[in-house]
Every structure is written in C-alpha cells, then in structure tokens.
Amino acid sequence: KDLGTSISFPNRTTVESIYYDVAEDFSQRILDSCRDVLYPGGNQHSLDSMCGRPYDKCTKEAFMAYLGIGNPAVPFPIY
C-alpha cells in the first residue's frame, strides 16, 4: 500500500504527503469528543478553528479533511 511520497536529499528525507486510513466510527468518536470543548478564556468552541467551519456544522468528513488537506497550516497534504 502506498503510504505517501518523499524526496531524498543527502543525509535527509522530506515528506511530501501521507495517506492515512481512519475507521468511520473512530473519526466520529474523535469528533464527538471535541464537540463541546471550549477555548480557555472564551466561549468559542475549539471546533470552530479545528474544522474550518462553525462547530455545529462540522461533520466527521470535514473535520478529518481539515486536519489534513483542508488546512493551509498543515506542512504537507495528509489524505
């Protein structure tokens, strides 16, 4: 199974992308465990910034995508 791609440089390897499989029920449990978490010192839900959309519109698919390919701050694509 292809787990991603990398480029080799002298004395180092750079990751270009990763392919990661997550079970449907596991991704739902991760989302459910984060659903009511608030930022310390505020009344904003953590999922507002971890899902790329408001927490009440966050789905497990959107959440997993934002942790990988949907977030511009991720250093390489995670599929």
In whole numbers, what is the pLDDT of the chain averaged over residues?
Answer: 84
Higher pLDDT, 66 or 9: 66
Burial class (CB in 10 A: 0-12, 13-18, 19+), 73: exposed
SS3 47: helix
pLDDT greater than 70 at residue 65: yes
Q: Say whether pLDDT at 54 is over 70.
A: yes
Residue 3 pLDDT greater than 70, yes or no: no
Two tokens, residue 9: 């440089």
Cα 34 to its chain centre, rounded Å, is 13
Residue 60: what pLDDT? 92
Pick from 6-15, 17-26, 36-45: least confident: 6-15
